[in-house]
Structure 1
Amino acid sequence: MSMQTAKASDRTGEADLHGRSAAEIRRRGACPALAAPMPTGDGLLVRLRPAGGALTPSQFASLARSAAAQGNGILEITARGNLQIRGLRAETVGQLAADVDAAGITVSDGPAIETSPLHGIDPEEISDPAAMEMALRSTLRDQLASPQLAPKLSLVVDGGGSFGLSALSADIRVVAQSHTDWLVAINGDGETAMPIAIGPAEVAISAVGEILSLMAILGQGRRARDIDPALLRARFPAMDGMQFIPSRAAAMPLAGSHRLEDGKTIIGVSPEFGQMRASDLIALLDLAKARGATAIRLAPGRGFFLIGLSADTVPAMQIAAARHGFSIQPGDNTEHIAACAGAGACGSAFYETRTLARQLIAAAPALFDGSLTLHLSGCAKGCAHARPALTLTGSAEGYGLILNGLAADLPDERVSGGRIDFAIERLARAIEDNKDAGESTAACLKRLGATGVSKALRQE
């Protein structure tokens, strides 16, 4: 679609291009695309997915410059590999859209279709997901554009390869089985989704069209999980007992240097805590371009791959990435922290999330065994993480600690602002003292429960 058509209204209280009121745009579950940015504590947020999740270094740098000029200069990559730009105002969204157009960045109409990030360059790829995405959008154009579909309808096209998408849950999954055949499954990830059809591309596309029709008939906002199983079996009588190849788990971590079978070297980086400042991103991209990088691929897991670098440039690029706030090795503790923009960048936040994150990494290593996510939310809105986690919510009185919940949930314990470091250190010590052999941090916290955690925090 042409981004220049995505103009924001002059006042955030007015309807958007599609006649949706501000209340509708703000509703939980809405997708903050350019035509309908989402109000947040630090201004308007726009989420976009470039075609194929791919950008050139110049395009990505242009987008970062626009984010600095039109927003607050903070960009994020989501857990699903989509790009978010924060701190926009109603009067600047239109200029951001124009900048996207001027950079030659294509953003497809309709719901995002997530594809394997290394599509077309991974020698282990079974079949081309980018070609399947194009075929789906071309054949099912009207259905994908239906206003009856849920705003956050999720579609995944997994071509296999070293960085598969088995961990991503989706309403509809299209997974390569061979060079010619595709599996269509619904409502789940690579292990839990229900297979409904298998066959050549035209069979898979037809099955996706059937599922879209069923969801549209159910009514706006309904998802694949809402389809009656009996109706599914009537539409897809061959689904029971279907023989298929399960989605393979990603063999390649995101962060790090990776050498593909054909000799190509790629670098995966993750912004610390999922956020990057435009100035840091531009500096990294300018250096990557000078060193020969030809493309950027956004990836699930809040990061991206740099494509086209020669092996001898990798050490210097990784040093530069780390200097600009990017994780360059798998297992970095920052991967297990979801932090919002925080005080200084967001007017709603009560504390500096990134500063506290670094303090906690140093003071409470027991929290970071990979079994849980620590969600640092500057206020009760919970912009950075919409799923249950070990959460610290900021408030005027201090912090709310939620063992396994959302930022808006009632805290299991309240901690005054000046004592948060001591409280977290006590919590980490309680975990170390109480953890059974082989037990994870998440399991230990669950066993301790609110009573045990409260007792630990109150000990002097």
Structure 2
Amino acid sequence: MTFSVVQPVVKGWCPGLHMPMQAADGWLVRVRPLFGRVSAQQALLLADEAERHGNGVITLTNRGSLQLRGFTYEQALLFPRRMVEAGLGLPDPGAEKRRALQVSPLAGLDKDCAVQTLSVAHNLSEQLMNSENLSALPDKFGFVVDGGGLCPAGALKGDISLQAVAGSDTLWQVVCGVARSEALDVSGVVSLALDLARRFVEQADKTRPLRQPETGCLLFEACNQPYERVIIPPQKNPLLTGSLLPGVYGLGVALGSLTPEILRDCAAVASQGEGYIRLTPWHSLILAWQNAMPQITGLLTEHDDARLRVYACSGAKGCAQAAHDTPAQALALSAFLPSGASLHVSGCRKGCAHPAPADVTVVATAGEYHLVRNSRAGDAPVCRVTDFEAVCAFVRSDMGEGGG
């Protein structure tokens, strides 16, 4: 089958604290809280920032960051200083960029998550801040410290992952693409992760291991380090929603979309418990040390809510490359999702909101909708239709009548 393809503009980088990005609705700014934790006071500050200087749109990204939209260029340039003063970033742009580090969101709460998880994360974070040569890593290159447990090992996605060895309290392994190291202690696993990153900087091919898994083997060989090849099975995002552990609750964020009011309500609840809002890369927030499930208007409490399994970019309101209101379309299509199924509505073939495969992906172009099954937005569609009613009919038929 032949079909017309409009090539999207690929910027090749992500916005960061010191690097705002212009969008259709103004400049967007981003904060990457250390280990994905925002204090109640910091949450209140971000809510005020979104209202005073932005358009009130706050997004929880698929890397566990918070993105604020609709800033003027002048306010986007002033934003980093205010965030650094609030403890939400580093003053040095290079160090801030290097600290692209995700950590198991339940570390310190889940007894089945390795007890050394936060210690490893602090060690790696400090080493990254002091490794100026790693500023040459691509903007999207990321590290993961994965302690396993209720959030299963491998659920966090990074180019270089430090994973706890199952059944051990002290041993870790580095996973890079399809290559996995031998078991190492904390010092050894951090050292190896940094060596692999340095080798990546030195090589000519800058295709990240997360995109080209074979790169991991090449990096291990360049470091003269032993490794074993591993099979990386496809894994759906964990649904950290509902009652997770005693006193620990997950609240779902449909499409990752937050408002200042929701953030303030979360801050009020957090201040009565652990004092932090824990961000996950799977469209959920975690509030700990609570007496009961928090009831916050606009957030989801049921782990099987179909709205937690749909993904969408900002659409025409926020991106010049999109022609439709993709968030509204995704929520409308969620009515047809059976339990466990996923759906992605993308405004172009880049698929920014959900780089991984979905059961059904809808690419909403200006002239038609490309429908992709069990794959990514950039893959070949199984068919094309010209109106949204036909999209609904396809999804309803493909997913099964009355799902979700």
Question: Structures share a fold, TM > 0.5?
Answer: yes
State yes or no: 1:273 paired with 2:273: no
String of CA shifts for 1:216-271, please: whole Å, max 9, x gaps. 110473434464846734744543599xxx99x999841102334xxxx0111121
Identity of aligned residues (%): 27
Relative distance call for 1:234 and 1:344 in structure 2 (3 A) is closer
Matched residues in 2 for 1:376 and 1:241: separation? 33
String of CA shifts for 1:352-411, please: whole Å, max 9, x gaps. 33443343334xx2x44433323253x6665433445434444554x4133246667786
Relative distance call for 1:306 and 1:381 in structure 2 (3 A) is same
Relative distance call for 1:340 and 1:185 in structure 2 (3 A) is closer
Partner of 1:360 in structure 2? 333
State yes or no: 1:403 paired with 2:391: no
Partner of 1:179 in structure 2? 169
8 Å Cα contact 2:362-2:377 kept in structure 1: yes
TM-score by length of 1: 0.71
Matched residues in 1 for 2:16 and 2:361: separation? 27
1:334 alignment partner, SS class = helix
Partner of 2:283 in structure 1? 302
State yes or no: 1:135 paired with 2:135: no
Partner of 1:95 in structure 2? 78
8 Å Cα contact 1:30-1:151 kept in structure 2: yes
Partner of 2:3 in structure 1? none
Partner of 1:429 in structure 2? 397
TM-score by length of 2: 0.80
Matched residues in 1 for 2:398 and 2:141: separation? 41
8 Å Cα contact 1:172-1:186 kept in structure 2: yes
The amino acid of 1:159's aligned partner reads: G
Partner of 1:254 in structure 2? 240
The amino acid of 1:332's aligned partner reads: D
Report matched runs for 1:3-82 at 5 Å: 28-82=11-65
The amino acid of 2:260's aligned partner reads: A
Report matched runs for 1:288-327 at 5 Å: 288-289=269-270, 291-292=272-273, 294-311=275-292, 314=293, 317-318=294-295, 321=296, 323=297, 325-327=298-300
8 Å Cα contact 2:24-2:318 kept in structure 1: no
8 Å Cα contact 2:20-2:27 kept in structure 1: yes
The amino acid of 1:185's aligned partner reads: V
More helix as a share of residues: 1
The amino acid of 1:429's aligned partner reads: S
2:184 alignment partner, SS class = strand
Q: How many residues align?
A: 380
The amino acid of 1:329's aligned partner reads: E
Relative distance call for 1:237 and 1:36 in structure 2 (3 A) is closer
TM-fit CA distance, 1:85: 2.0
Matched residues in 2 for 1:329 and 1:144: separation? 44
State yes or no: 1:414 paired with 2:385: yes
String of CA shifts for 1:31-69, please: whole Å, max 9, x gaps. 210211223333333333211211112211211221222
Relative distance call for 1:396 and 1:123 in structure 2 (3 A) is closer
Selected match of 1:206 from 148, 173, 191: 191
Taking only aligned residues, the RMSD between alpha carbons, in angstroms, comes to 3.5
1:385 alignment partner, SS class = coil
TM-fit CA distance, 1:79: 2.5
State yes or no: 1:196 paired with 2:181: yes
Matched residues in 1 for 2:324 and 2:238: separation? 35
Relative distance call for 1:226 and 1:142 in structure 2 (3 A) is farther
Matched residues in 2 for 1:279 and 1:163: separation? 28
2:74 alignment partner, SS class = coil
Relative distance call for 1:427 and 1:131 in structure 2 (3 A) is closer
Relative distance call for 1:125 and 1:250 in structure 2 (3 A) is farther
The amino acid of 2:313's aligned partner reads: C
- Give the structure with higher Rg (CA): 1
Relative distance call for 1:335 and 1:235 in structure 2 (3 A) is same
Alignment gaps of 5+ in structure 2: 1-8
